[in-house]
Structures are given as C-alpha cells and as structure tokens.
Structure 1
C-alpha cells in the first residue's frame, strides 16, 4: 500500500511539470514548422528555464527516484526535442529576413481576415496587415533583427486571431 501511495504522489508531482514541458515543446515545434525564428528563439530561453526549474523541483522531492525516473526521462527528452527544433531552424542557414518572408506567406494564405467589406471589427487588423503586406522581400533584407522580430510578432498576432 505504501508503494502505491508513492506512485500516486510521484504522479501528482510530475503531471504538472510534464504538462508545462509538453506545451512548450509543442509550441516550439509549431514555431519551427512555421519558420517563426524569433518566436522560437524567445521561447527557447523560456524552455531552458522551465526545464531546469521543473527538473529541480522534481529532484527535490522526497519520493523514491525510481518512481520519478520515467517522468524525468520524458522531461529530458522533451527539453532536448525543443532544443533540436531550434537547432534545425539555425541549420537552414538562411537570412532571418527569409524566415519572416516565409512566415508572411503562410499567414497570408491561412487567415480569414476579410478586408474587402466594411467590417469595423477587423479594420485595425486590416490596416496593420496592409502595412505588413507593403513591405516587400527586398526591404526585409535591409531591416535589423529587432524590426524583423516585430514584424514576425505582428504577423503571429494576426495569424492567431484569424487563422482558418
């Protein structure tokens, strides 16, 4: 019976940690697939902190580590997968402006933002999107990382709000 209590306690401790790490890894995977370089880079810093904190918290537990081992292994695997997603983006060795241009194409073809009708709820987003559309690929090449990051962030907000 005591062993069963230990297993339940281990599950309680690790479930929340696993949920945090799984959510982070899924988001990093999405950013990588969408070529959102700056979002992935920012998330990676958070993931590193979360991974360390969650593993530290689990390791501080008084529960026998044999009951925590599979969760610790899973967290380590997910944390490493997140790192590898970002390594993949860097391995493409393309300019950051190209990441933003590719993400723009994805957003442009996968949103339901109707700017043709007088839909007052969407006017602000339509104006923002029109400004973003006016920046051509050649102009992106001349922008510093901070501006590219801002553009990617604005595209991300539009995408989240209006994706199909």
Structure 2
C-alpha cells in the first residue's frame, strides 16, 4: 500500500470508530428517554433526538427537536433541526424547550460530542491535505512517494501482506 492509501485507511478506521461511539451515545440517550417516561408526565417527556451521520470523509453529530402535530391516533412527528452555530458544541439556549432532566442529559452527551466533533474536524483537514499532496504529486514532483510502496516487500511476502508498520523506515 502507498502512503496515501495507508493514511486513508487509517482515517476510515477512525471514522468508523467515531460513528460507533456516536451511535452508542445516541442509543444510551434513547434508553434514558424511555426510562424517564416511567417517572415523568407526558408534558415532561424528552423532545430531542441525536443523529449520527457519516458522509464521504466527515462524521457529523446533530440534534433534532421532535414535535407532534394532529389529533391523538393520527399524529405526525415533525423534526426541527437544532442550530449549532460555529463552534464544536451546541449552546445551552439551543435546548431551551427541553425539560430540566433532559437538558442535563444533553449536556453530558455534548461533553463527549464536543471532543468527537473536534477530532472529526481535524480528520477532515488531514483529508484535505492528502488531496493537496496527491495533486502536487500528479504534477510530477520527483520527491513524491504517494504512488510508491512504503517499503519493498521481502522475497517471501506479497505486497498485499505488507501491513507491518514496525518495519517502515522513517
């Protein structure tokens, strides 16, 4: 594998781990909401939902506020996107419609999501730099190594089995 392929594979693995962590948080949040329904009246049930989205090179964590419209038995659920702003964290005022117990739970989840969003942003920058590196190599840079293997395979191993990073000379 080449340098760019190895880095992209590492980024894909990291993205998969972030999605798994985000989905775990979303599921835990739903479980807490379901448990809260046993202790609180209908008017204080949770209104917010967390969605984890994986795009080509980005993972995003978004909150939505649910609203029910219509008469009982024929209600429709409508999702309203919660505005995050420019930072890596949703502001407290974004959850002003939430009951106190849900607001506290959201803040706990947001503490972890803030770190994941920062990491996702760094990974996006790495991906952008990889593209820039590839473009410079396409222009014929003689020092570029993006299309060469990281090390020459030994006689008794195939190029596909060359995933041992301990033997990479730097």
TM range (shorter): 0.3 to 0.5
Could you tell me the TM-score, scaled by structure 1's length? Answer: 0.32
Question: Which of the two has higher C-alpha Rg?
Answer: 2
Choose between structure 1 and 2: higher strand proportion: 2
Choose between structure 1 and 2: higher helix proportion: 1
